Amino acid sequence: MKIIVPVKRVIDYNVKPRVKPDGSGVDLANVKMSMNPFDEIAVEEALRLREKGVATEVVAVSVGPDKAQETLRTALAMGADRAILVVAEDVEPLGVAKILAKIMDEEQPGLVILGKQAIDDDSNQTGQMLAALTGRPQGTFASKVEVSGDTVHVTREVDGGLETVSLKTPAIVTTDLRLNEPRYASLPNIMKAKSKPLAQKTPGDYGVDIAPRLKTLKVTEPPVRSAGIKVADVDALVAKLKEIGVAA
């Protein structure tokens, strides 16, 4: 079975985003960029399935700017076999899902594993949309993935706890935080990744219209919450809590 893992280049998890003064967006100039953390988990899960003998090949895909090559090289250094970069800027989840649907057609994977959301636009849509466009089942917010034959059992993190569903492959899985702990790429593997195949494509190659449907009119800072007071001890805290009506 082949597994496709879409990955996105986003602002690093530890960087605090700054809104541009002109309200046109978030300032990404000279900011550290990394692979979306949920996508790292997706790559790791695909690699583990290959190590268990369930998968035979792991293909990393990114729809993004030229520089997303770095993100794909990271996936290759972690252990993916090859990569496809579809060069396009600022593609919305619906457009990404349409491109991925075409890649699924070409590659015929048994599983596509994606992060549940990207930490830049927090949309949480691409996996579900890809499943809809291809008419395949979806196991979103996965904390456990077990493949047996042509079915995959996905345990999902839902509001009240956990839910397990059984899906027929090919299936789409989106990862939650506790699915696994992604490995670090070792130096020899980083060197090796440089010679792994990375194909470059454009949305035109897939005949997909990715014109945006949403227009961002402005981006602003959220309302600021200012620090309040510090109390000296528990007695003062109890008094404050009584003041706001928490305790009788």
- Binders of other proteins among 123-142, rule CB under 8 A? 123-133, 135-138, 140-141
From candidates 16, 21, 148, 188, binder to other proteins by CB under 8 A: 16
Radius of gyration of the chain (CA): 21
Q: Does 207 bind other proteins (CB under 8 A)?
A: no
- Given the complex with other proteins, which of 44 and 81 has the nearer CB atom? 44
Residue among 8, 166, 197 nearest 97 (CA): 8
228 binds other proteins (CB under 8 A): yes
Angle at 36 between CA 112 and CA 71, to 5 degrees: 85
* 117 in contact with other proteins (CB under 8 A): yes
- Residue 33 sits in the site that holds other proteins (CB under 8 A): no
Q: Is 217 in the site for other proteins (CB under 8 A)?
A: yes
26 binds other proteins (CB under 8 A): yes
3-state secondary structure 127-181: HHHHHHHHCCCEEEEEEEEEEECCEEEEEEEECCEEEEEEEECCEEEEECCCCCC
Q: Is the bond leading into 188 cis (omega within 30 degrees of zero)? A: no
231 binds other proteins (CB under 8 A): yes
With contacts defined by CB under 8 A, name the span among 1-9, 66-74, 105-113, 208-216 that binds other proteins: 208-216
The 51-90 contact track toward other proteins, x by CB under 8 A, reads ----------------------------------------
Query: Per CB under 8 A, which of residues 152..171 are in contact with other proteins?
Result: 153, 156-168
Q: Which of 53, 122, 149, 188 binds other proteins (CB under 8 A)?
A: 122
- Interface residues for other proteins in 86-115 (CB under 8 A)? 92-94, 97
From first CA to last CA, the distance across the chain in angstroms is 63
DSSP 101: H
Please, what is the Cα angle at 71 between 129 and 37, to 5 degrees?
A: 65
